[in-house]
Structure 1
Amino acid sequence: MDLQHDTYLRGGVVCGSRRSSELRLWRRAAEAETAHIHLYLTPFNVLCVAMLILDVLSPLLLLSILLPGYGCRAADIPEDTTSEFSVRLYHRLQAAGGQDNIIFSPLSVTVALGMVELGARGASLEEIRQAVGFSHLLPGAEFSLLRNVTATLLDDDTHYMIRFANSLFLQEGVTFNPEFLHLMRKYFQADVETVDFSESAAVAEQINSWVENHTESKICGLLSAKDFSSVTRLTLVNAVYFRGSWKNQFRPENTRTFSFSKDDGSEVQTLMMYQQGDFYYGEFSDGSQEAGGVYQVLEMPYEGEDMSMMIVLPRQEVPLASLEPIIKAALLEEWANNVKRQKVEVYLPRFKVEQKIDLKHILQELGIKNIFTDDADLSTMTDGKDLYIGKAVQKAYLEVTEEGAEGAVGSGMIALTRTLVLYPQVMADHPFFFVIRNRRTGSVLFMGRVMTPEVIEPSDHDFDSV
C-alpha cells in the first residue's frame, strides 16, 4: 500500500492523514526518548468485597465492592465451570446498560452464592446449582472446587499479591447449625464473630473496620447503621484483594492526549498509553456482518503470565453493541486458544470504570428465584424456617494505568515511515469489551466494557506539542 498520503491500516480500515501524522510523531518522540524501553509496573488494581446479610423478617443484603488491588497465581485449580454463568450475567447487564460502562466480578458473585448454597436445601439449593453451572457436578463437589480456587489464589507468589478473607458475623443468642459453621470454615476459611445487630451503629463500625483491614484501607464506611436491624441474624462477608502489573509495561512518558470516539458519534479526550511489545493477538470473524465481519482480540498477560486482560475490539466504524450478541462462553475459549504470540502495537486508554449493580433482579432472571421469596429454604444454616434473601447488590471499580516502579529493559520502538505497518496495530480509541481471566483455568475474575474512558480536559500535552 502507498503511504505517501500518510494513511495507515487499522482493523482493516484506512484512516486519514491527521491521525496518521499524530501517530508518527508519537512514535518518533517515543523512539527519541531512548533506544530501549524501561518497563514500568502498571498497577491494575481490583478489589472485590461481597457481603451477605441474612434477616429473619427483613431482607438479606448481598453487597460486593471491587477496588484497586494484586494478581494471583493458579497452579492446580480445577477447570472453570462457570464461564457460561459469567457471560449470561454480562448480557443481562448489557441489555440494561445503554451506553454505560460495565464492570463486575463473576468470581465474587459465584463465591457469595456458594456461601448461600452451603446453607440451602431443596429448590433454593437446586436453582443456584443450575444457574451457576454446578448441576453436572456431584452434590457438594462445587464447594471443594471453590475451596481449591481460593486456596490456590492465596499461595504466596512473587508475581502477584492476592488476599481472600471470609467472615461470619452472627447474632448473639441465635443458635446456628454447628455443621454449617464447620463447613464454612472448611470450604471458605471463614472467621466467625458474634455481634448484637440491634446495636446497628456499633455493628456497622465493626464490620467496616474488618473490611478496611482486609482492603489496605481502600474501602472505608462500607455500611451504615440503617443496613441492620434487630431482626438481622447473620452477616457474611467475602473480601478479595487483587492487583497485578503488566508483563510488558507502558512507559508513562509515551502517554498522550487522544480522541476516543464513542458509539453515539461524539468524541472525548482521554489519555492514551502506547507501546510496541510481544502479546497474544488474533483477528476473528463472526461469519456475518453482525460484528462488522472482522474484529481484533488482544491478550495482555500480567507478570507471571497466569493472569491476563483480554481486549476485544470491533472495527472503528462498528458499534460495540453489534459485537456483544456473539459473546458466548465457547467463544471466550476460542479466543484464548487461537491468539498467537507476536509483536503488536498497542494503543490503550487509561480507563476507570465503576458500577453499582442490583443483582437481585438479574439473578432472578437467570433462574435464582426461590431464595428471594418466603418459600426460601436456608434451613441448613439454622433451624429457623423464615430466612430469605431480600436484596443483592454489587459495586465494582476498576482502574488501569501505566504508573508504577521501574522494571526491566524491553525492546525499542519503531518510527512510522512510508512503508507498510510492520506489526498488527490495536487502536482502542473506541468502545471495547474486556475480560480478566486466569489463563490456565479460564476462570473469569472480572468482565466488562469501556464505552467511555476517563475523560480529561485538553492540555498542552497533545500531539501538536510533540
Structure 2
Amino acid sequence: MDLCLNLLKSEPEKNLVFSSVNVEHAFAILATAAANKTREDILKMTSQADIATTAHRVKSLESLSSVQLDSKMFTCFQPKSEFWKTHFTTASHGLVDFTDPKTADEINSWIEKSTKNMISKLVDASDLDSLTRMILVSAIFFKGSWETPFRRTFEGAFNGSKQQVKYMQHNFKNITYNESGEFQAISLPYANDGLKMTVLLPKSDLSSFGVSLNASKLKEIFAGMRSAREVNFQMPKFSIESELDLKSIFEQLGFGHVFTAASDDYSNLTDESVFLSMARHKAKIEVNEEGTVAAAATVAKIMLKMCVIPIEFVCDRPFLYFIRKEDEVLFAGRFVKP
C-alpha cells in the first residue's frame, strides 16, 4: 500500500490511473534477477517485504476470473538457469535483437495483446540499442461488471465547472459506506471475485486530504466500511489514461542510485555487468454504467555498463615532445609539419 500512495502523489493536478500491483510484479521479477544490496534496494524502493510474499499475491490474483496477469523477459542472451528456479517461473522469455528497429514493435505487440489493446506504444525504438540487454514487461488486465448496474444517467456540472459531464446514478438500499468529518466513502461491489471499487470523496479539497493520507489511515477507512441504510450515489462516467516515468518518481523518493551503474548486481540473471536504466508505467481505465475495464503495463530496461570512453588525443596540429626521466630531459623538440 505504501507504493500505491507514493504513486498516488504523482502529477497531483491531473487525472491519474495506475496499477501498483503491476509495478510490484515487474520489480519483484527484477529483484529475483538481482542479488545482495541491489536486490535489497529494489524491494525497499517498491515497498515489498520480500519476493516470496509478492509472488504469493500475484498467484492469488491470477486465480481471479476477472483479472489477467502476464510477464515476459525480452533478452539478447540466455538467462542463467538459476533464474528459472525462482518464484516467477511463469514469466515467458524471448530472444531478440535490440539493434533491430522491429524489436520495439514486437514488445509493443505483446503488451497490446496482454492488455486487450488498451495499452500501446510503451516502448520506442529509441529506447533500444546495442547496450540493451533486457526489456522486462509485466501486464495486468481487469474487466468487472457491477453487481448492481447503474440504470440512470444524466448530465451535470463537476466541481463548479460550466462544462457538463455525464453522470451515472443509483439509489442503493444496502451498500457498504463510511463517513467522518473528513470524507465520505462507498464501496461498489463487482459481480465476481469479491472485488469492489471504493470511492473516497474528501469533504475538503483533494490535495489537502491527500497530504494527510497514509497507509494506516487508508486501511482504517477500508476497515470502517459498514452497510448503510440507503445511499443515493452519483458519479461521472470516466476514462483515464496515464503514463508514469517510474525512474523519475523513484529518484524523487531517494532511490536514484538504483538506476545507476553503481547498482549492478544482477548475478542471478547474467554474468555481465548490467544495471537498471529505465522504468515506465502506463495504465488506462474506463468506468461506465455496466462496470469497469482497466489495464496497465510496466517496462524496465536492463543495459550493459558502458565501456569507459577513451580520451581523444589526436596530434593533427603542431606539438612539442620531450624524452625524459622525471625532470631530466634527454631530448626535446617540436613537430610543425610532416
The TM-score normalised by the length of structure 1 is 0.58
Residue in 2 that maps onto 1:394: 281
1:101-133 C-alpha deviation (Å, 9 max, x unpaired):
122211111111111111222332222222333
Residue in 1 that maps onto 2:69: 164
Residue in 1 that maps onto 2:133: 233
Q: Do 1:124 and 1:370's aligned partners in 2 also have CA atoms closer than 8 Å?
A: no
Counterpart check, 1:152 vs 2:60 = yes
Residue in 2 that maps onto 1:258: 156
- Unmatched tracts of structure 2, length 5 or more: 297-338
Residue in 2 that maps onto 1:273: 168
Q: Do 1:127 and 1:367's aligned partners in 2 also have CA atoms closer than 8 Å?
A: no
Residue in 1 that maps onto 2:4: 86
Distance 1:100 1:133, change over 3 A: closer
Give, as a single letter, the amino acid of the residue that structure 2 aligns with 1:271. K
Q: Do 1:299 and 1:311's aligned partners in 2 also have CA atoms closer than 8 Å?
A: yes
Distance 1:182 1:192, change over 3 A: farther
Q: CA deviation at 1:338?
A: 1.2
1:310-337 C-alpha deviation (Å, 9 max, x unpaired):
111123xx32122112211111211111
Q: Do 2:146 and 2:290's aligned partners in 1 also have CA atoms closer than 8 Å?
A: no
1:208-263 C-alpha deviation (Å, 9 max, x unpaired):
33223323333444434323212211121211111111112101xx201111115x
Residue in 1 that maps onto 2:318: none
Q: CA deviation at 1:305?
A: 6.0
Q: CA deviation at 1:188?
A: 5.0
> 1:258 & 1:373 partners in 2: Cα distance?
49
Counterpart check, 1:360 vs 2:247 = yes
Q: CA deviation at 1:389?
A: 2.0
Counterpart check, 1:329 vs 2:215 = yes
> 1:210 & 1:305 partners in 2: Cα distance?
26
> 1:300 & 1:149 partners in 2: Cα distance?
23
Q: Do 1:123 and 1:370's aligned partners in 2 also have CA atoms closer than 8 Å?
A: no
Aligned residue pair count: 291
Residue in 1 that maps onto 2:110: 210
Q: CA deviation at 1:340?
A: 0.9
> 1:205 & 1:99 partners in 2: Cα distance?
32
Residue in 2 that maps onto 1:309: 197
> 1:321 & 1:218 partners in 2: Cα distance?
29
Residue in 1 that maps onto 2:83: 180
Q: CA RMSD in A?
A: 2.4
- Unmatched tracts of structure 1, length 5 or more: 1-82, 136-141, 286-293, 405-435, 437-444, 446-466
Bigger-Rg structure (1/2): 2
Q: CA deviation at 1:154?
A: 2.2
The TM-score normalised by the length of structure 2 is 0.79
* Percent identity (aligned): 28
> 1:134 & 1:241 partners in 2: Cα distance?
22
Residue in 1 that maps onto 2:313: none
Counterpart check, 1:319 vs 2:205 = yes
Q: Using CA pairs under 8 Å that are at least 6 residues apart, name the structure with larger relative contact order, 1 or 2.
A: 1
> 1:305 & 1:195 partners in 2: Cα distance?
37
Residue in 1 that maps onto 2:188: 300
> 2:106 & 2:44 partners in 1: Cα distance?
35
> 2:278 & 2:120 partners in 1: Cα distance?
21
Counterpart check, 1:372 vs 2:286 = no
> 2:2 & 2:24 partners in 1: Cα distance?
12
Q: CA deviation at 1:85?
A: 2.5
> 2:60 & 2:15 partners in 1: Cα distance?
31
> 1:99 & 1:373 partners in 2: Cα distance?
30
> 2:46 & 2:163 partners in 1: Cα distance?
38
Give the SS at the match of 2:137. Answer: strand
Distance 1:86 1:178, change over 3 A: same
> 1:323 & 1:344 partners in 2: Cα distance?
23
Residue in 1 that maps onto 2:300: none
Counterpart check, 1:119 vs 2:33 = yes
> 1:229 & 1:147 partners in 2: Cα distance?
31
